[in-house]
A and B are shown apart, each in its own frame.
Chain A
Amino acid sequence: MGFVDLAWLVPLIPCLCFVIVGLFGTKMGEKTAYGGLLVVFGTAISFLIALLVSYDYFTACYPAAVESHILWFTIGGYEINIGYYIDSLSCLMMLFASFISTLIFVYSLGYMHDQEMRKRRYFAEVALFLTGMLGLAVSSSLLELFIFWEVMGLCSYLLIGFWSFRHPEGDDKADNAASAAKKAFLVTRLGDVCLMGGLFILFLAMGSLDYTVVFNADNLAAAWAADSGKLLLAALLIFGGVIGKSAQFPLLDWLPDAMAGPTTVSALIHAATMVKAGVYLVARCFPLFCMDKDIMLFVAIIGGATAFFTATMAMNNMNIKKVLAYSTLSQLGYMFLSLGAGGYLVALGMETGEEHLMVIGALGYTAGCLHMANHAFFKALLFLCSGSVIHSTGTEDMRLMGGLKEKMPKTAMTMLIGTLSIAGFPFFAGFFSKDLVLDVVFETFEESGSISWVFILLWILGIVTAFMTAFYMFRLWFMTFMGEYKGGAHGHCHGESPNCMTMPLMVLSIFAFAFGFTLTFGWDGVFTIGLVDGAWLVGGGEAESGLHWIVELFTNWKTYVTIVLVLLAIYLAHCMYVKGTMNPGKFNKDGKSALYTTISNRWYFPELYNQLSWKLGYGVAKGVDFFDKQVIDGTVNGLSSSVVGGGDLMSKAQDGHVQSYAIIVVGGIVALFVAAALLFAQFGGL
């Protein structure tokens, strides 16, 4: 028994923290931040266990996955198990999720310090949130994953709606938060319902939802041979769930609204949990998705389209958090683009039997995972920095900031590191993964034959997005920290944030800078996927260590294209927002051009969704209600009143006049006799 067998503790500890803080947090008092310290402590322990588990896994068990489960219950002869499943991917997930969450929670102690009793609710909910994410990372079956998936959905609902009543800034904001929370839950629920449908199909087709059964190459091949249509449908529905959770096109609308929650929650949702779950699910279901290359093409197209569209939305937004939200969507798009393009090649390789295609394809998987981890670090950093700025200035509007570099040196420097990283500045973490992603897409273009025009389009979208990313991120940084000092909402800022807020920033900035170098230590071998002896295996490739990646990156002309674009974008942003030599208003007719308004309105997505949900939801409901009240209940009430009315009518015949009753009696007797006589005459006897 090694540490690997303790994997079940990783999600359990935050869960216990949730229960304890949720029930007794009020009694813990201000000294422990109403349970906040316990949560920080628990998360740290959880991270340590995750570290031990990963260490044990990589030293003792790698590359074979460690799986253990117990029978939960059976449903009509199908067994449903609960357990844990550890491989490179789950190690990666639980490591960065628990590590970043620990830092975010430490930061929260400072950020939420004036919330008093509400801290109990906050810390209980984030603990449950983390439970969801860690549970998702270690779960051993798709059903178990779905449960944690939904738990995260619930927590995002609770946390986005954290200020949905008694908002410190007034009732309008509270209404706004309530609506955003509902939207987040409903849109992701739409995806979840699809995912659930996919699970049913998969369950019946494969007879189990355990990873070991479902992602077994032989089982998949057998099920594919039996009914390929169902498996295809299942994969598409599962990806539907991913689209909802990771806010990809067309279900991307909830994530920007979700900024109504506290900034730390945004950091949690965007960096460590929630949206990463979608990427994880695609990576996890890679063997299933590879059964058909068209699914992977679909994934790549969705990813590329999202990356581009959301980057445009970030270009002219004035809200510091919203810009970061759009950038998250855009970066997630990169991850799906990478997984999709790589998966396409793997699927193609399986179809044609060409080994080298599968090898290049597996690189897409590596690039997607690396970008996921990198993004987790720099996005957490960026959000926490923006939180620090908001905390200090009391506003989210970048037009009211500016010149904060002197006032908040630590925040400014750490945020600069994050910005350089996300922009893909050479040698920063984002640079490695982003260029790897674009590289994979380009390779797919070269290998994919007749469909290659799609991939060259996606590649162009990718580098244009890289340009836009660098531009809007530096626009954000320049507007906030450079230029003339404006002092935020109240005309002055509170200066640098307390240490418990800046310490996590510094730790994160180290990772945001340096995590890319892990690539040189053999990411391609450990975080890859491939068919090993006929079975799908995450990891298990030969790690090629050393400088070979660096050499490859810098001997590639495409890398220089992106570097030039990034530098150009930074220069452009500098000219516009620092030196003022270029007026941004010239490009958009002072915010009146059609493109500018379209982008401001998020390409009219929210409008479309409002109309659609209002018509399909409330409109139909009104109709049903009318039918219920008028037609069904009308029939029922009509029936009963016709009975009552009929009785009324008959009772009119009772006039109380004895003699008229007597006439009826006599008349009846006479009629009987006449009838008897007639019968007698007819039949000649009774």
Chain B
Amino acid sequence: MDSFVLPALILIPLVGTIITLFMGGSREKLAKIVALAFTVITLVISTYVMLAGDYSQFDFNSGWIDSAGLKMSFIFTVDGLSILMVFLTALLEVLVIVFCHDGVHMEHGEPKRNNYFYSLLLAIEVGLMGVYLSADYFLFYIMWEVSLIPMYFLISWYGGPRRHYSAIKFFIYTHIASLIMLIGIFAMAFQAAHGGVVDFGFEAVKNGVGLYASEAFQTLVFGLLFFGFAVKMPAVPFHTWLPDAHTEAPTAGSVLLAGVMLKMGSYGIIRICIEALPLGAPNWQFIMIGMGILAMIYGAYACIAQRDLKKMVAYSSISHMGLVMVAMGTLSGIGIEFAIFQMFAHGLIAAMLFMVCGAAHDHLGTREIALLGGIAGKLPLYASFMMFCFMASLGLPGLIGFWGEFGIVFAFYDWTVANDMIYLLVFCLLSLLLTAGYYLWAMQRTLFGRETKKIDMGKVTDLDKLECVALAVLAIAVAVYGIWPDCALSFIQGYVDSIVNSGIVLPSLNGVI
């Protein structure tokens, strides 16, 4: 029974996708409720899986293609690395459906049908669940592409004025990256071929490559895969698709994109690059750290210059994913642990951030910082949520963002001590300061000061009930995990122990006194 739980996590949204797809015409109004029902079921199941404790009972393994020396299977597993991402995906899917209004996406161009919108959201869930659950490289790759395509349509159908440019840019960028990743996958699978059979299963490849393939091979393949994942994360300088995609995407798309899709990149780096290619990883360590620091500082500075609230938040995502990159680059147990934690933390916070930015557009009609000002008086709820998520994002202690930053900077400091480069800590600290700077400046210009006269404040309304519910759920999660980070860390701990025990990374670089 339990072994069908994981396929169900993929199949339920898939069924939902198909049903909502055909709910045109008079049934269109029901689409939201149907989609909500399917996502809620998925959320319930993923919560059950998360709390189950022993994850191996859920393993699912079924043959698929086994001919001409190629073996691809339907293997689904879950562990401490993926479970938080699975939960996050399921949670955010529910919340975006709650948050988004019917017909909001009719602002630009011709009206589009609601049911397609919800169908695409569910299709994205299929892809995301597939990526996080599959344990077969071929399946993983297919799911990776599956998540890409509905997002393309979501942006190009329901997006802002420059949606076509952004959607194409998003698609081509990530598609090129995933093709290069595919080359890497093939290289690994064929290298690991055993007895004339190329088995694409994660385990099989890991056993075949892992500690056996030569360092040169691993370094090369690491590079191919790393490029594919780094674009998705996104790492500077391969990031420019992200601000454009975010600015044009509908709120729901942005939330999913920043909340869970970016994490596919870092998930891939940990799951595939570091776990399966442990000999190649050290050779890329400095590049990862360097790119991470670059992304942190560069993203933070870019935020200061932005004039669009949503674009600023998009650049802040780049900056915060830079932290994840740095953490992974340390190749230590603490680093990996807090990289995963930060992925989860950023998922929650970024979802709030993009919801707030989307609400700015829906309620105030603009996201231009220069047009806003003093709106806290008229929209107290909106202002509170905005301030809350900005504070969470800039790493206020007591909220989840702080622990991500704290752990990562600590892991990084650990690394700099081991490599005798303490001065690099300055960059991390600088980025924390800059983060506070751009958020506070944005708040000063939008929420506070004199009330703007550039938009008609007479007609604006505060957040409605559903929007508040979605934001409040996230806010509670951010606060609870912030006060008691062990709620999330305990899930990650098992995974980190397993990779430490298998000798892939050290728990910490300087040892405990």
Q: Do chains A and B touch in the complex (CB under 8 A)?
A: yes
List the interface of chain A (C-beta within 8 A of B).
72-73, 75-78, 146-147, 149-151, 154, 157, 161, 164-166, 171-172, 174-175, 177-179, 181-182, 185-186, 189-190, 193-194, 196-197, 200-201, 203-204, 206-207, 617-618, 620-625, 628, 632-633, 636, 640
Chain B contacts for A197, CB-based, 8 A:
425, 429
- Which of these, B397, B407, B440, contacts A75 with CB under 8 Å? B407
Report A467 CB to chain B, min CB distance, Å. Answer: 39
B507 touches A76 (CB 8 A): yes
Surface stretch bound by A, among B28-36, B199-207, B431-439: B431-439
Chain A contacts for B333, CB-based, 8 A:
76
- Which of these, A147, A161, A200, A204, contacts B398 with CB under 8 Å? A147
- Which of these, B304, B332, B447, contacts A617 with CB under 8 Å? B304
A171 touches B436 (CB 8 A): no
A-B contact pairs, 10 of them (CB 8 A): A171-B374, A171-B449, A185-B436, A186-B433, A190-B433, A197-B429, A200-B409, A204-B414, A620-B301, A621-B303
A196 to B375 alpha-carbon distance, docked (Å): 33
Chain B contacts for A72, CB-based, 8 A:
484-486
Q: Which residue of B lies closest to A183 (CB)?
A: B440
Q: Which residue of B lies closest to A175 (CB)?
A: B449
Report B292 CB to chain A, min CB distance, Å. Answer: 17
A12 to B434 alpha-carbon distance, docked (Å): 32
**Proximity bits, B111-148, A CB within 8 Å = 1, else 0:** 00000000000000000000000000000000000000
Chain A contacts for B366, CB-based, 8 A:
none
B449 touches A178 (CB 8 A): yes
Residues A75 and B449 in contact in the complex (CB < 8 Å), given A147-B398, A196-B432: no
- Is B108 located at the chain interface by the 8 A CB criterion? no
- Interface set, chain B 401-456, CB cutoff 8 A to A: 402, 406-407, 409-411, 413-414, 417, 425, 429-430, 432-434, 436-437, 440-441, 443-444, 447-451
B374 touches A193 (CB 8 A): no
B298 touches A624 (CB 8 A): yes
B interface majority secondary structure: helix
- Which of these, A77, A182, A201, contacts B444 with CB under 8 Å? A182
Chain B contacts for A150, CB-based, 8 A:
396-398, 402
A292 to B173 alpha-carbon distance, docked (Å): 55
A165 touches B508 (CB 8 A): no
Residues A171 and B425 in contact in the complex (CB < 8 Å), given A76-B337, A154-B396: no
- A-B interface, 7 closest residue pairs, ranked by CB to CB distance from nearest: A76-B334, A178-B448, A621-B304, A171-B450, A625-B305, A147-B397, A164-B448
- Which of these, B398, B409, B429, B451, contacts A194 with CB under 8 Å? B429
B449 touches A193 (CB 8 A): no
Report B68 CB to chain A, min CB distance, Å. Answer: 31
- Is B512 located at the chain interface by the 8 A CB criterion? yes
A625 to B298 alpha-carbon distance, docked (Å): 9
**Proximity bits, B286-330, A CB within 8 Å = 1, else 0:** 000000000000100111111000000000000000000000000
Report B55 CB to chain A, min CB distance, Å. Answer: 21
Q: Which residue of A lies closest to B447 (CB)?
A: A165
A33 to B193 alpha-carbon distance, docked (Å): 75
A360 to B451 alpha-carbon distance, docked (Å): 58
Chain B contacts for A200, CB-based, 8 A:
409-410, 413, 425
B449 touches A624 (CB 8 A): no
Report A215 CB to chain B, min CB distance, Å. Answer: 16
List 5 additional contacts besides A76-B332, A193-B433; criterion CB under 8 Å: A72-B484, A204-B413, A204-B417, A628-B302, A636-B240
A203 touches B396 (CB 8 A): no
A201 to B414 alpha-carbon distance, docked (Å): 9
Chain A contacts for B507, CB-based, 8 A:
76-77
B411 touches A76 (CB 8 A): yes
A77 to B411 alpha-carbon distance, docked (Å): 12
- Is B103 located at the chain interface by the 8 A CB criterion? no
Report B357 CB to chain A, min CB distance, Å. Answer: 19
- Interface set, chain B 333-347, CB cutoff 8 A to A: 333-334, 337-338
**Proximity bits, B491-513, A CB within 8 Å = 1, else 0:** 00000000000000001101011
Residues A622 and B425 in contact in the complex (CB < 8 Å), given A76-B337, A207-B512: no
Report A163 CB to chain B, min CB distance, Å. Answer: 9
- Is B377 located at the chain interface by the 8 A CB criterion? yes
- Which of these, B304, B374, B485, contacts A165 with CB under 8 Å? B374
- Is B37 located at the chain interface by the 8 A CB criterion? no
Report B336 CB to chain A, min CB distance, Å. Answer: 10
A76 to B305 alpha-carbon distance, docked (Å): 37
A164 to B443 alpha-carbon distance, docked (Å): 11
B508 touches A182 (CB 8 A): no
A166 to B303 alpha-carbon distance, docked (Å): 28
Report B144 CB to chain A, min CB distance, Å. Answer: 21
Report B446 CB to chain A, min CB distance, Å. Answer: 10
Q: Which residue of A lies closest to B380 (CB)?
A: A121
Chain A contacts for B450, CB-based, 8 A:
171-172, 174-175
Report A184 CB to chain B, min CB distance, Å. Answer: 10
B448 touches A181 (CB 8 A): yes
A175 to B373 alpha-carbon distance, docked (Å): 10
Report A155 CB to chain B, min CB distance, Å. Answer: 11
Report A627 CB to chain B, min CB distance, Å. Answer: 9
Q: Which residue of B lies closest to A223 (CB)?
A: B513
- Is B92 located at the chain interface by the 8 A CB criterion? no
A85 to B364 alpha-carbon distance, docked (Å): 49
Q: Which residue of B lies closest to A170 (CB)?
A: B450
A632 touches B240 (CB 8 A): yes
- Is B477 located at the chain interface by the 8 A CB criterion? no
Report A477 CB to chain B, min CB distance, Å. Answer: 35
- Interface set, chain B 469-498, CB cutoff 8 A to A: 484-486, 489
Report A232 CB to chain B, min CB distance, Å. Answer: 13
B440 touches A185 (CB 8 A): yes
- Is B365 located at the chain interface by the 8 A CB criterion? no
Residues A174 and B374 in contact in the complex (CB < 8 Å), given A72-B486, A206-B513, A633-B240: yes
Report A222 CB to chain B, min CB distance, Å. Answer: 9
Report B476 CB to chain A, min CB distance, Å. Answer: 12
Q: Which residue of B lies closest to A624 (CB)?
A: B301
B305 touches A622 (CB 8 A): yes
Q: Which residue of A lies closest to B168 (CB)?
A: A640
A64 to B472 alpha-carbon distance, docked (Å): 45
A640 to B507 alpha-carbon distance, docked (Å): 44
Q: Which residue of A lies closest to B335 (CB)?
A: A76
Report A150 CB to chain B, min CB distance, Å. Answer: 4
B413 touches A178 (CB 8 A): no
A76 touches B508 (CB 8 A): yes
Q: Which residue of B lies closest to A158 (CB)?
A: B387
A181 to B447 alpha-carbon distance, docked (Å): 12
A401 to B225 alpha-carbon distance, docked (Å): 73
A154 touches B449 (CB 8 A): no
B240 touches A165 (CB 8 A): no
Q: Which residue of A lies closest to B425 (CB)?
A: A197
Report A500 CB to chain B, min CB distance, Å. Answer: 27
- Is B391 located at the chain interface by the 8 A CB criterion? yes
A617 to B439 alpha-carbon distance, docked (Å): 13
Q: Which residue of A lies closest to B490 (CB)?
A: A73
Residues A77 and B440 in contact in the complex (CB < 8 Å), given A165-B447, A201-B413: no
Indicate the member of A76, A203, A628 with the most B CB atoms within 10 Å: A76
Chain A contacts for B429, CB-based, 8 A:
193-194, 196-197
Report A633 CB to chain B, min CB distance, Å. Answer: 5
- Which of these, B237, B306, B448, contacts A177 with CB under 8 Å? B448
B433 touches A625 (CB 8 A): no
- Is B40 located at the chain interface by the 8 A CB criterion? no
A166 touches B301 (CB 8 A): no
- Is B216 located at the chain interface by the 8 A CB criterion? no
A429 to B436 alpha-carbon distance, docked (Å): 40
B374 touches A621 (CB 8 A): no
A184 to B413 alpha-carbon distance, docked (Å): 28
A78 touches B398 (CB 8 A): no
- Is B12 located at the chain interface by the 8 A CB criterion? no
- Is B44 located at the chain interface by the 8 A CB criterion? no
Q: Which residue of A lies closest to B431 (CB)?
A: A193
A151 touches B397 (CB 8 A): yes
A622 to B305 alpha-carbon distance, docked (Å): 6
A625 to B311 alpha-carbon distance, docked (Å): 12
